[in-house]
Amino acid sequence: MPFRPIRTTRGYIHVAEQILQAITSGEYPPGSQLPQERSLAVMLGVSRATVREGLTALEVLGFVQTNPGQGTFVRHSTGAREGMLQLAGASMDEVLVTRQILEKAVVELLCTKDVDLSPVAQNIEGCIAAHQAGQVKEFLDLGLAFHSTLAECTGNSILYRMTEELMTSQDQPLVRLLNLNALYLPQNREKHIREHQEIYSALLRQDVAGTIQLVEGHLCELRRIINTSSEE
């Protein structure tokens, strides 16, 4: 698979994306060595520093390993990593549209029966603590768990498992990079918290229409933040 020149200042994400595509396509099987940084920089039309950032991101995610003086090699697969690769086929739009359908059902159930929403409140408190401590990775994990927690509170095991599967698909490596990139900005984390608090308050009022509107707005904002992050 020929690499394509990259035209964006947030180039390391796209460097990681193209290299990951080459790995998952089998062009670079486990144990094989990737081209040298200098060669990748020429092929991708970016600086060596940008290539290095992209490779570092893939190393953190467990896809490659850099051996000083030898080069960068594709790591052998693990069960968890294989699962992420299988889920990587779904587009972000597909995930968000499906989430919108599922979360509407979750909201309707939560608003039409007496349920204990204290786990939702605890999740929001955890998000606030992670935000204040600047723990971006923990904040992201709690933010994703917020939606699974809503589904779990319905008491419907099928809805919960489906929501968990969707949240896992959204946690695929490159989407996680985009999410983390966006959440490093404190204002994005603060907006995230406000939206979750508004959803929680609407659920307490058992306001079905209002909660659905807030959830839809939250998902639209999530799409905007991720798209902005990938284009910067």
pLDDT digits (tens, 9 = 90+) for 122-180: 999 999 999 999 998 899 999 989 999 999 999 998 889 888 877 876 666 666 777 77
Domain count of the chain?
2
219 and 164 co-located in one domain: yes
Contact assessment for residue 102 and residue 163, using Cβ atoms and an 8 Å cutoff? yes
Q: Identify the pLDDT of residue 80.
A: 38
The mean pLDDT of 68-92, rounded to a whole number, is: 63
Q: Report if residue 217 sits inside a domain.
A: yes
What tokens appear for 225 in the block?
Answer: 């933040």
Q: Identify the pLDDT of residue 181.
A: 75
Q: Compute the distance between CA of residue 33 and CA of residue 41 in angstroms, rounded to an integer.
A: 16
Concatenated DSSP letters of 44-68: HTS-HHHHHHHHHHHHHTTSEEEET
Residue 8 scores a pLDDT above 70: no
The mean pLDDT of 62-89, rounded to a whole number, is: 68
Q: Compute the distance between CA of residue 40 and CA of residue 36 in angstroms, rounded to an integer.
A: 6
68 and 137 co-located in one domain: no
Residue 40 sits in a domain of what CATH number? Answer: 1.10.10.10
* Other CB atoms within 10 A of residue 156 CB: 15
Q: Identify the pLDDT of residue 84.
A: 44
Q: Report if residue 3 sits inside a domain.
A: no
| SS3 label, residue 71 | strand
129 and 45 co-located in one domain: no
87 and 178 co-located in one domain: yes
69 and 92 co-located in one domain: no
Q: Which residue has the higher pLDDT, 122 or 25?
A: 122
| SS3 label, residue 27 | coil
pLDDT digits (tens, 9 = 90+) for 86-104: 444 556 667 777 788 888 8
Its domain, for residue 92, covers 82-231
Q: Report if residue 176 sits inside a domain.
A: yes
Q: Which residue has the higher pLDDT, 149 or 226?
A: 149
The overall pTM is greater than 0.75: no
CA distances from residue 31 to 17, 27, 51, 69, 84 in whole angstroms, order as listed = 19, 12, 20, 16, 19
pLDDT digits (tens, 9 = 90+) for 36-71: 999 999 998 889 988 988 888 788 667 889 888 899
Q: Which contiguous run of DSSP H or E holds residue 82? A: helix 79-87
What tokens appear for 100 in the block?
Answer: 């919108």
Q: In whole numbers, what is the pLDDT of the chain averaged over residues?
A: 82
96 and 173 co-located in one domain: yes
Q: Bridge partners of 67?
A: 71
* Other CB atoms within 10 A of residue 76 CB: 10
136 and 164 co-located in one domain: yes
Residue 217 sits in a domain of what CATH number? Answer: 1.20.120.530
155 and 87 co-located in one domain: yes
31 and 96 co-located in one domain: no
39 and 115 co-located in one domain: no
Residue 9 scores a pLDDT above 90: no
